[in-house]
Amino acid sequence: MAEFHPLEFDRLPEDEMQSRARDFYQSIKNRRTVRDFSSDPIPDGVIEDCLLAAGTAPNGANLQPWHFSVVRDQGIKRKIREAAEEEEREFYGGRAPDDWLDVLGHLGTDAEKPFLETAPALIAIFQKSKTLDRRGVETKTYYPKESVGIAAGFLIASLHNAGLVTLTHTPSPMRFLNEILGRPATEKPFLLLVVGYPAAGCEVPEITKKPLAEIADFH
């Protein structure tokens, strides 16, 4: 039988609710995806706390169907870069349909991924199709894609909050990550997060976010 305990919840005054909502938006709107990284190391413990935050994400049946592989080793980063660039050369050199390349154009991306070696850390996020339940019995996972997507969002927001920048990289296919990082076939690479600081003089493309009226309606 499930055991329950009282929820810890402090209800905030309404003016504080509004100022917290605004403050969070003001902070998260400054998050930018960066493609030009410095090699400065990340202080010990910061990534660990951000991963703990990611691991609190709501998820199917609390099976927590994610695994995070943190890579700081230069040799492993190089292997990942080589494998990712091989896939990307095929993508940019023919596999990508013209309409996809067309919408990507303004971001200035190409098959060269030096940041996979320069950045101090890579976090490979895996989606688990199977895991152990509370009793230690192997079970299939439920809503793993939604669950891992939410955890990845928490992680990106936590890293931004901690003063780091990220790049959400999705080489496709990226099964090479299983081999390089020794993860089982029941774990599917979900995305590769590049983490660190922007290089001096780093530039980002001029982009805008849709206004509220275009992304939401209220009934």
Residues binding ligand IYR (CB under 6 A): 88, 91, 104, 107, 109, 169-171
Q: Which is nearer to ligand IYR, 130 or 175 (CB)?
A: 175
Give dist(CA 61, CA 70) in Å, integer. 25
CB of 114 to ligand IYR, least distance (A): 12
CB of 31 to ligand IYR, least distance (A): 15
Q: Tell how strand 130-132 and strand 121-128 pair up.
A: unpaired
At residue 189, the 3 state secondary structure works out as strand
Q: Which is nearer to ligand IYR, 88 or 187 (CB)?
A: 88
In this chain, which residue has its C-beta nearest to ligand IYR?
109
Q: What is the maximal distance between C-alpha atoms in the chain?
A: 58
Two tokens, residue 85 = 């660039």
Q: Which is nearer to ligand IYR, 109 or 118 (CB)?
A: 109
Query: For residue 21, which of 212, 209, 217 has the smallest C-alpha distance?
Result: 212
Q: Which is nearer to ligand IYR, 97 or 182 (CB)?
A: 97
Q: Which is nearer to ligand IYR, 87 or 187 (CB)?
A: 87
CB of 169 to ligand IYR, least distance (A): 5
- Please say whether the beta carbons of 96 and 170 come within 8 A: no
CB of 152 to ligand IYR, least distance (A): 14
CB of 205 to ligand IYR, least distance (A): 11
Two tokens, residue 50 = 């951000």
- Please say whether the beta carbons of 27 and 161 come within 8 A: yes
